């Protein structure tokens, strides 16, 4: 696709005399990479990859402005001058590639996730109104501490300015402290910080004035705010628009997102999963754009350059945040501008290794591009010292990643797939409700193999005879897994099938169905939803404390909301025990007591997988081989693709 197809995306934009070379932004997002709350080599390498890839603007993750702003144990802090050197190195690294760099400056207020030592901290807010999601009861700020925090915003900005950062973005989004002052349902003060809109804006006005006083007229100041917090107690679109219209004379841009950290339903929009439509804030962006005289930035599931170009063309925004798109493919801007948009590795919004890692306190990555977050280890592809003939057995995610990277390093690679289609379990995953984008993982890997020069042979199962004929130097075994059927008491004629049979429509099912979900991931709930929408009466029994226990939080909560809307009963703590003609017998995993589900026609097993691993035994003593992915141990696409990268890197 020609770069001329994206005239708006690559049109420069000037802020405070500083030039954005394009309208693509990596928006502020926590990475869990900092150590000792400081910029480190890993974080610099992470942002270097995106700057080298051509992004116009990088907004760094939040920098705490006061000691009470530590909403996680690994947050960056800008509360003393020791932070300046790290920020300077980061700024210089990105500036060398023509990328502007801003930093978010931040206080969470009552939105405290966790602390370094496991003790509950004292949280502060405009008023003593509790947070629902983290169950935090905050302490109302007094005037002395308000003054301290406002001065902290200015002092943090001064340090960033001294480090050569181009500007700051004041975070008033997602229900954080400035939004807590702005929201009349949270701010119940009786002093000059509450009342009509202008009084509730006082805190933000004082922050912005403090920042400007500590920097200079060339320093960019933006504001991020939720266009709508998507919560009954949150800011509405009218609230937020009125606020930024009043503030715009003090700002260089407004950046809109959606949602709030304060509730499970609102938090989904912090990193919206694939069940939410791409570029879904376009209409709200248009409203804000029409109501403002300064540039509008927007972030919200803008995954592809085509989506961003359309929003810019329609005048709905001036800059598009494409953060996960850049996590998945740091070279997305360069590929687009050089006419190679078809080569972009598109984000599928699975949330598994980006925000999913963050919620575990781990450095973020990407299931499709495990090099992300590991730039110090995998940042520069190393050519192979000796070209080898590599045979890959299996065309699922593990095999395709191994083949692509091995070929990129200079090896002669042939991948064999037993069936007609590449993709492995991705082909099944994409059949579940609102999971069709997951199929992009296969499409992207196939394109990577094509560009790397991998030879692909379909409808061919690798066995000893084939290996003897081809005489490769190494066989990579990536033969995957198949459904696991556990041993359980089974009497009578009740129909029992597995998830794969359901997704492939291999058998007609009865009306009353029980789905037993051992893994507590998206397969069981997805099967339950699919069958409910097809007219079956479905109950979901999960062997965990709740549905989706192993899923990234925002994926889980979006899914739980959908199942609730459909009225699907969910039975937690449920272990499969047995079945007879019309009854499914479960056992409570904590009490051991029986649970009986009666008048059942079909039992669907979502009980995990077992390795398909016969090839290794055939090849013993014949050739060197390595197992990767589910044939080694059934897990997820993330581990499969990462192991594909690792084995190819080591050859």
Query: Residue 227: left (phi > 0), alpha (psi -120 to 50), or beta?
Result: alpha
According to CATH, the topology of domain 384-483+611-650 is: Rossmann fold (3.40.50)
Q: How confident is the model at residue 116 (pLDDT cuts 50, 70, 90)?
A: confident
Question: How does pLDDT run across 458-499, given as a tens digit for each residue?
Answer: 999 999 999 999 999 999 999 999 999 999 999 999 999 999
Give the dihedral of Cα atoms 541, 542, 547, 553; nearest 10 deg.
-160
Taking alpha carbons only, the member of 32, 160, 185 closest to residue 104 is 160
DSSP, collapsed to helix, strand or coil, labels residue 125 as strand
Q: How confident is the model at residue 133 (pLDDT cuts 50, 70, 90)?
A: very high
How far apart are the C-alpha atoms of 153 and 310, rounded to whole Å?
36
List all residues 6 or more positions away from 190 whose beta carbon is below 8 Å from its beta carbon: none
- Domain 3-377 CATH (choose: 2.70.98.60, 3.40.50.1440, 3.20.20.70, 3.40.50.200): 3.20.20.70
Taking alpha carbons only, the member of 173, 177, 154 closest to residue 321 is 173
Confidence check: pLDDT of 100 > 90? yes
Query: For residue 2, what pLDDT is reported?
Result: 54
Angstrom distances, CA of residue 555 to CA of 46, 109, 263, 503, 537: 25, 25, 14, 20, 24
Q: How confident is the model at residue 115 (pLDDT cuts 50, 70, 90)?
A: confident
Q: What is the mean pLDDT of residues 191-204?
A: 97
Angle between the N-to-C axes of helices 202-214 and 143-162, in degrees from 0 to 180, rounded to the nearest 10? 40
How far apart are the C-alpha atoms of 160 and 618, rounded to whole Å?
61
Confidence check: pLDDT of 590 > 90? yes
Extended beta strands in 89-178, E state: 100-106, 124-125, 139-140, 167-172
Confidence check: pLDDT of 534 > 90? yes
Query: For residue 218, what pLDDT is reported?
Result: 97
According to CATH, the topology of domain 489-607 is: FAD/NAD(P)-binding domain (3.50.50)
How far apart are the C-alpha atoms of 90 and 106, rounded to whole Å?
19
Q: What is the mean pLDDT of residues 76-102?
A: 98
Q: How confident is the model at residue 3 (pLDDT cuts 50, 70, 90)?
A: low
Question: How does pLDDT run across 327-351, given as a tens digit for each residue?
Answer: 999 999 999 999 999 999 999 999 9
Confidence check: pLDDT of 508 > 70? yes
- How is residue 306 written in tokens? 């085509």
Q: How confident is the model at residue 117 (pLDDT cuts 50, 70, 90)?
A: confident
Alpha-helical runs (H) found in 110-257: 143-162, 177-182, 197-200, 202-214, 237-247
- The domain spans of the chain are 3-377, 384-483+611-650, 489-607
Which own/partner contact pairs does 131-134 have at CB distance under 8 Å and 24+ positions apart? 131/261, 131/262, 132/262, 132/263, 132/264, 133/261, 133/262, 133/263, 133/264, 133/267, 134/110
CA angle, residues 97, 103, 108, in degrees to nearest 5: 155
């Amino acid at each position: 696709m020609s770069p001329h197809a994206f005239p708006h995306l690559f049109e420069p934009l000037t802020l405070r005399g500083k030039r954005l070379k394009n309208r693509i932004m990596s928006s502020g997002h926590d990475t869990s990479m900092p150590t000792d709350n400081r910029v480190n080599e890993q974080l610099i390498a992470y942002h270097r990859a995106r700057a080298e890839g051509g992004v116009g603007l990088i907004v760094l993750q939040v920098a705490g402005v006061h000691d009470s702003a530590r909403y996680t144990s690994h947050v960056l802090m800008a509360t003393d001058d020791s932070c300046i050197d790290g920020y300077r190195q980061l700024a210089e690294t990105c500036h060398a590639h023509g990328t502007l760099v801003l930093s978010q400056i931040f206080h969470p207020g009552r939105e405290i996730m966790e602390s370094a030592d496991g003790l509950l901290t004292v949280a502060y807010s405009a008023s003593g109104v509790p947070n629902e999601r983290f169950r935090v009861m905050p302490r109302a700020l007094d005037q002395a501490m308000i003054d301290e925090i406002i001065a902290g915003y200015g002092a943090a900005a001064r340090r960033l300015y001294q480090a050569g950062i181009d500007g700051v973005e004041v975070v008033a989004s997602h229900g954080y402290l400035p939004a807590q002052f702005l929201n009349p349902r949270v701010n119940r003060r009786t002093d000059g910080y509450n009342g009509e809109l202008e009084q509730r804006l006082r805190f933000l006005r004082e922050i912005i004035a403090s920042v400007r006083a500590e920097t200079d007229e060339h320093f960019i100041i933006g504001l991020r705010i939720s266009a709508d917090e998507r919560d009954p107690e949150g800011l509405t679109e009218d609230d937020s628009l009125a606020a930024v219209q009043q503030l715009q004379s003090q700002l260089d841009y407004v950046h809109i997102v959606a949602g709030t950290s304060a509730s499970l339903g609102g938090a989904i929009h912090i990193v919206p999963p694939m069940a939410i439509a791409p570029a879904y804030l376009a209409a709200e962006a248009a409203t804000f754009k029409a109501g403002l005289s300064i540039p509008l930035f927007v972030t919200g599931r803008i995954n592809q350059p085509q989506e961003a170009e359309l929003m810019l063309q329609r005048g709905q925004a001036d800059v598009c945040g494409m953060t996960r798109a850049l996590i998945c493919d740091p070279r997305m801007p360069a590929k687009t501008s050089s006419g190679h948009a078809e080569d972009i590795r598109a984000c599928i919004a699975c949330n598994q290794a980006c925000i999913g890692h963050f919620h575990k306190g781990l450095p973020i990555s990407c299931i499709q591009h495990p090099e992300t977050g590991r730039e110090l280890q995998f940042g520069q592809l190393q050519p192979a010292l000796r070209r080898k003939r590599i045979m890959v057995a299996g065309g699922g995610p593990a095999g395709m990643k191994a083949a692509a990277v091995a070929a990129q390093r200079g090896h002669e690679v042939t991948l064999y797939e037993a069936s007609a289609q590449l993709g492995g379990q991705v082909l099944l995953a994409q059949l579940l409700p609102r999971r069709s984008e997951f199929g992009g993982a296969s499409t992207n890997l196939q394109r990577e193999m094509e560009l790397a020069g991998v030879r692909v042979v379909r409808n061919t199962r690798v066995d000893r005879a084939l290996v003897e004929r081809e005489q490769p130097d190494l066989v990579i075994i990536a033969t995957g897994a198949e459904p696991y059927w556990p041993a359980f008491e089974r009497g009578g004629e009740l129909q029992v099938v597995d998830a794969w049979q359901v997704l492939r429509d291999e058998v007609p099912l009865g009306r009353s169905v029980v789905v037993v979900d051992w893994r507590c991931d998206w397969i069981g709930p997805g099967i339950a939803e699919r069958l409910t929408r097809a007219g079956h009466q479905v109950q979901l029994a999960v062997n965990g404390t709740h549905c989706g226990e192993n899923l990234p939080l925002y994926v889980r909560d979006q899914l739980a909301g959908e199942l609730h809307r459909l009225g699907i009963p969910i039975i937690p703590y449920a272990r499969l025990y047995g079945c007879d003609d019309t009854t499914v017998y479960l056992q409570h995993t904590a009490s051991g007591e029986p649970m009986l589900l009666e008048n059942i026609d079909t039992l669907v097993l979502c009980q995990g997988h077992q390795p398909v691993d016969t090839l290794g035994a055939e090849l013993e003593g014949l050739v060197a081989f390595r197992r990767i992915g589910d044939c080694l141990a059934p897990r997820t696409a993330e581990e499969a693709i990462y192991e594909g990268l690792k084995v190819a890197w080591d050859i």
